[in-house]
Amino acid sequence: MQYMLLIHVDEAAMAAAAPTASPDKAYEMGQPFMAYNEALKKAGAWVAGDRLAPSSSTTRVRMLGDRTEVLDGPFADTKEQLGGYYIIEAQDLDAAIQWAARCPAAQNKAVEVRPIWKAQ
């Protein structure tokens, strides 16, 4: 079964920790994530994964009747934003939780585990 591991980050804290870094630099993947990626691949659990651009680059699209509404982000009124994801193959939820616990982001951020419902 496939699961999505959603990595939530505090963009304000990241910016404060590296005030002179560009957004790309703040989102740079460190060695712990590279090792985690390799472990997923070696175990055959890797399906996909990547970082997301900062929430300030978000665009929200919705239809209002026959009119398309396009709004620029960010939109989250929360402390944390979605910063990246993994799609993994795991035997069951317990195995997916074990992979989430090994994710470097779980050390100080939230990693949400969600089953993927395949489109028919």
Q: Per-residue pLDDT for 18 more than 80?
A: no
Q: Per-residue pLDDT for 94 more than 80?
A: yes
Task: Give the pLDDT of residue 6.
Answer: 95
In this structure, which long-range contacts are made by residues 73-79, counting pairs with CB atoms below 8 Å and at least 24 apart in sequence? 74/11, 79/10, 79/12
Q: Per-residue pLDDT for 91 more than 70?
A: yes
Q: Per-residue pLDDT for 75 more than 80?
A: no
> Tokens at residue 86, please?
């993994």
| Mean pLDDT of the chain, nearest integer | 87
